[in-house]
Amino acid sequence: MSCNKDSPSDSTDSDTTVCRIGVKLPPFWPDQPALWFAQLGGQFALSNITTDATKFYHVISVPDYKYATEVEDIIMKPPTTDKYETLKQCSELTTRLSESKHQRCSQLLNRQKLEDRKPSQFLQRLRSLADNNIADDFFRSMWLNRLPGYL
């Protein structure tokens, strides 16, 4: 953190301090934008960043070109207030880039494999795709059937 103190000698007002806080933002995760925003929220909290505009400008500096173009309208003409909240709460990045419910179900039912994950990591991935919309018994059976060596 770097701070510059501005204290005019002829002023009786209190000193003005401007501080810059370095924030380490994760790269944009196009397959999990809602999780990415949650991570950003943690980084902003740790850095004590509460100003909407500061959050907004940090956020728009991260996504690559192909993802930034998805929200070009907001980047080029941000609202006068609630800039960050427009991206986050209205979920512009999330809405425009997230998989549809149909795509998530298809991936859950057909394409998701254990790969190099631990069974617990695989289970967590399946749960995130299911979005609490599948009965536990069916979900458990599907998970067990995809584990190697399960008969």
* pLDDT tens column, 69-99: 878 888 899 999 999 988 876 555 665 555 5
| Per-residue pLDDT, 7 | 42
Give the whole-angstrom CA distance, residue 135 versus residue 28.
32
Q: In terms of domains, do 122 and 76 share one?
A: no
Q: Is the pLDDT of residue 104 over 70?
A: no
Domain count, the chain: 2
User: Hey, what amino acid is at 21?
Assistant: I
Alpha helix segments (H runs only) across the chain: 33-46, 52-60, 65-68, 72-76, 83-88, 92-97, 101-106, 119-130, 136-146
Same domain, 111 and 136: yes
Is residue 59 a part of any domain in this protein?
A: yes
Verify that 87 and 128 share a domain, yes or no: no
Q: How many CB atoms lie within 10 A of CB 105?
A: 16
Domain extent, residue 92, equals: 28-97
End position of a domain, from candidates 60, 76, 97: 97
Pair (34, 91) in one structural domain: yes
| pLDDT at residue 60, rounded to an integer | 92
Q: Is residue 106 located within the same domain as residue 129?
A: yes
Contact call for residues 43 and 24 (beta carbons, < 8 A): yes
- Provide the percentage of residues in the chain whose pLDDT is more than 70: 63
Q: What percent of the chain has pLDDT over 90?
A: 21
3 φ, ψ (degrees, to nearest 5): -130, 140
Whether pTM exceeds 0.95: no
Q: Do residues 6 and 18 touch, judged by C-beta distance below 8 A?
A: yes
The Cα-based distances of 149 to 143, 144, 146 in angstroms read 12, 9, 9
